[in-house]
Each structure stands twice: as structure tokens, then as C-alpha cells.
Structure 1
């Protein structure tokens, strides 16, 4: 019998069908494989299938067998297990910075890493439609370009905008370009931020990536950090609440013991907890004083109290008073 032009692709189609159609709950027999190959115009004998399966196993595909009345074959393990793929799908669909269109594209690609039956279970848990999503379709590629700039130690230029009351873009600096030295990208409060170092202010600042346009890598090295400056993204995100910056101060705060999890979640497990009395503990933290820091404190009501400094206590009282006056 004359061989078809697809005959040389037999082992590739065999691998494709095993990856797509089999898992621990869905198997194929050798006869199933021969029938499936015929759909691609490929003829095969049983012995050649056995040889190909052995070659695929040697290549690294984890093909297992299960014996009953027949010998059933299936892919027993993959690069990503099903629970891991579900986690990736959840991350994509919950990511506000990824647009609705790009979310669906990414999820479809994630589904391709599972068998077709497993992909159905992934698809059933997708609820992207009603999520709040970014509307800047270019953010996906902007993030990649910024990563490249950081890796290559280069500056970047971009335009930066806000939305006005009409929900229209209004560019800052009258649309002039920003030139910055990028040092990290941070995903905080469901948004992506570019963290940069400013030589002018001798400090770090950040920008929402979804509000950046016309991003270009500049053929100029980043501004070098001062000798005594070391950038630690974890420390930066701990002290800058929801990426709203302000003057940094060391504050001492007393918390009720029931809030220990909230404090550790915010500042990490390495933070030192000082016993105040049987019901309360205190922490000393370096934070950027801002309205979002005060809002974080306020959510705990009478279970939290700022102990120092006096300047921060005064600012917090003014913040509370301004809020109260809104209702008088």
C-alpha cells in the first residue's frame, strides 16, 4: 500500500491525540489510535504504534496503561496539573489589568495545556464577562516592553493620562513625554505599576501601566541609584499603601490581638510584635503617610490606635474631622 504524504508525521499526530484526548479518566486503545490516525490519512500497524508509544515515553511523555479487557493508554502527567491550570485561569480572570478580550485569549491557551475533557472543566469555571477589566488593550504588550527595558538597564519614555469627568483621556504635562528609569513592575490592588527612580527628587515613584501610552525603550542607561540606596520591591509595596505615596515616617501602632492576621498579611511574618497588655500588641513600621494608610487604619475602628508620632496622630485627627464635617 502506498504511503500518504502525512506518513512521516505519524508519531506527531499520535502525540497530539494522546495529549488532547486522554487523561486519567479518558483513555485510548491501540485500535482507537489506528482509527484516529486514519482521519489524518495515515495508515498504521499495531507494532508501529507500540514502537511510537515507546519512543514518546523515551522523549518524556508520561504515557501510562490500564488493563481491563483491553489495554488502555493515557497521558498520566503533564507539565501543568489540572489544579495548577485552574489556578492560572483564576488569576487571569481576576486580573483587572488584563482586558476582556485578552483574558479570553489567554484562557483559551491555558485550556490547550489540558486534555479536551479537562479543558471543558476549566471553561465551566470562567466568569470573565462581568468582571471589572482594563480597557487599554496594549497593556499586555506594554508590560512585556517594560520588562525588557528593566532587563537591559534602559530608560523608557511614555505619555501618561487620567480620565476626566466625561471619561475621556486627559494627558498630563500637556501630552509631553515622561523619561524615567524603570526598576520594577508591581501588581498591587489588581493593577500593574511601574516603579521608577527619579534623579530630580532622589526617590522612587510609580505609574499605572494601564494609563501609559506610546511606551518606547530609550537607548540610554537608567539613572544609577545613590551609593546608599538599595531598591527592595517588597519593602516598597509594604510602606506604600495601594500605591498612594506620601512622606515616609516611622509610626507605632497598637492593635487588638484579634487583628494579628491582618497585620501579618499587610507587613509580613517577619514584623516584630510588641506586647502592650493582655489584649493588645504594637508594631513599629515605616510607612508612606497618605489617605489610604489612614483608611486602612480606620477600617479596624476602636481596635487600633496610633501611638506615635504626634505629627501622624495630628494628621489622622484632621483626616477624621474632615470626614465628619462632610456629614454636618
Structure 2
């Protein structure tokens, strides 16, 4: 092997050793680095290691030295902190639409971004009810195709659940309740408008040559606001709803609706009320009922009647 090529190989191998075998708790001294290089059939003199480390430092790698007994070198800075990788791993494991097999593959790739020792800490266990049992590449391919269409400003066609083929104009992707959703404009059926589709229920996603439509509808589109008013991403007629809540639910309401609504406390301090836009659906009614009487819809009358009728029907069904 020519000397220059061999030097490049040694530098890359040394960097890989530092990436995989060192962290703040696990250091390697020069003799240990020489030995690890020799295990990969690369001969190195001790003095050349110092020069190689200086070269790697000049290239921007944060290689630190701890002197004294038990000291040595370690790679101090990485693209991701261990805490950030743990957060990513938890997000992958908590996803209901990522199969166990795909989750394991993704986590294995994340492990490569830290040392071998830190990688063992990434095998965290987050229980997910409803994770798909069989592996399918359809979801990843669909996400990739949808991103391509959004970036290119093109329409897409896909099969959706068992409900035939859809042709829509994709604008955004959103993550909500552990699922990926496509936010798109559709004008195949009346009424035309903004719709959402679960990506894991799509198949055969095809990017079309036609320019996407719906620019006017998405010019001032506010995705966080859209997510807040759609309960479990179900659509329905939009109303400005007044909710009356017990005082202990203020944090829960902020988590759901954000900082925008003005919470108005009542005189006794036991309740507060506020107005929010909501796409009224059975899922919204179910959300209200889930608070066990601590949340009341006080307006408008038709929404109040809707929840009353649903509760009456449930009571009759369970009589």
C-alpha cells in the first residue's frame, strides 16, 4: 500500500476507534490505540499516534486528553448528545406505526452515533400497545414519496385503506397521536378543501407530473391550529365552542389548546371558561365526556344539543 494511502487508512481507522471505543468514562492511551490498530493490520509507531491525533483535531474533531493514572484520549463531542439519542430512541419505540423490526433497525443506526458503551444505554424499553406485528417497507416508501412530491410541488395518487384510489395535492406532513398524517388539498369530490390522511393506511403512492393545487387555501394555513381543533384528526363542522372547566383543569386545557385562548376565571374561582375553534365530531364529544363532568359545553346551542343527544343515546344503550 502506498504510504499516503496507508496514512489515510490509519487516520480513518483511528477515528473509528475513537468514535466506537471511547467516551468520557472510557479512555484509551497510546499503547492501547497502537494495539487496536494492529488488530486491524495497521502498524503504527507511538509517536505517529500523537501526530495523527493532532491532524484529527485540526480537522475539527474534539479529541481530549486526560493525564495521569488511568488517563488517555477520548472523543468528547459528537453530532448528538447521549440524552438526545435517548430521546430519539424513545420516539422511535413509542411510534405505533413503526413495526418492531423497523424500530430495531433504526435504533441500531442511532447506536452508531455514540460509543459502543453508550450504545448499550439506548436499548431502552418503551411499551407500545398496538405496534404492528409484521414489518412493511410501505410506510417508509410512502413517506419518502410524499416528501418528494411536497418538495417538487406535485400531486400524488395512492390507494387509501380499502376505499379506492385518491388523487390529492400534498402540502404538509404532521405527526399526531403517534401517527403520520398527510395534510393535503383535495378537489376530486365536493366539497373541495383541506383533508388529512393517515400515511400508514396508504399504499402505492405515486408522484404525478401535475402541479399541485390549493395554494390559496394553504397561503395562511396554520398547522398547529389545525391539529388543535381536530380531535384525533377527525373532521367535522367547525364551530367556535365555549368550554366551562373546573379550575384544576387549566394545565390540561393549555396542553390541548396552547397559549392563545383567553381563560376567564369565574367569581368564585372554582371554574373558568374560554372560547376555541373546534371541528365538532363524536371524538370531540368523547373528549369532553372523558373529564367526567369537569368540562361543560355552554355554547353554541347546537353543539351543546349534540353532546346531550349522544350522552342520551349512550345511556339508553347501556340501560
Give SS of 1:139's match.
helix
* Aligned twin of 1:82: 82
What does residue range 161-200 of structure 1 map to in structure 2 within 5 Å?
161=161, 171-173=162-164, 177-199=165-187, 200=190
What is the aligned partner in structure 2 of residue 270 from structure 1? 260
Match of 1:148 in 2: 148
Deviation at 1:266, TM superposition (A): 0.5
Q: Which stretch shows the higher mean deviation, 214-223 or 200-209?
A: 200-209
Distance apart, 1:76 and its partner CA = 1.3
Give the match's secondary structure for 1:272: coil
Matches within 5 A, 1:227-242: 230-242=220-232
Q: Which runs of 4+ in 1 moved over 6 A?
A: 2-5
Structure 2 portions without partners, runs of 5+: none
Displacement of 1:270 after TM fit? Answer: 2.3
Classify 1:60/1:5 alpha carbon distance in 2 versus 1 (closer, same or farther; 3 Å): closer
2:109 counterpart of 1:118? no
- Say yes or no: does 1:224 pair with 2:210: no
Residue among 292, 302, 305 paired with 1:311: 302
Pick which of 218-227 and 262-271 moved more: 218-227
**Contact 1:7/1:42 (<8 A) preserved:** no
Distance 1:250 1:127, change over 3 A: closer
Structure 1 position 137, deviation (Å): 3.2
Structure-2 separation of matches of 1:223 and 1:268: 30
1:232 offset after TM fit, Å? 1.4
Does the 8 Å contact 2:27/2:71 carry over to 1? Answer: no
> 1:232 and 1:46 mapped to 2: Cα distance?
60
Alpha-carbon offset, residue 133 of structure 1: 1.8
TM-score by length of structure 1 reads 0.90
3-state SS, counterpart of residue 27 of structure 1: coil
Alpha-carbon displacement from aligned partner over 1:76-122 (angstroms, at most 9, x marks no partner): 12111111111111000001111111100000000111100111121
| Alignment partner, residue 100 of structure 1 | 100
Root mean square deviation of aligned Cα: 1.9
Answer yes or no: is 1:289 the counterpart of 2:284: no
Corresponding residue for 1:45? Answer: 45
The answer to whether 1:22 aligns with 2:12 is: no
Alpha-carbon contact 1:254-1:276 (below 8 Å) kept: no
User: TM-score, normalization: structure 2?
Assistant: 0.93
Equivalent residue pairs, number: 313
Question: Which residue, out of 200, 203, 212, partners 2:193?
Answer: 203
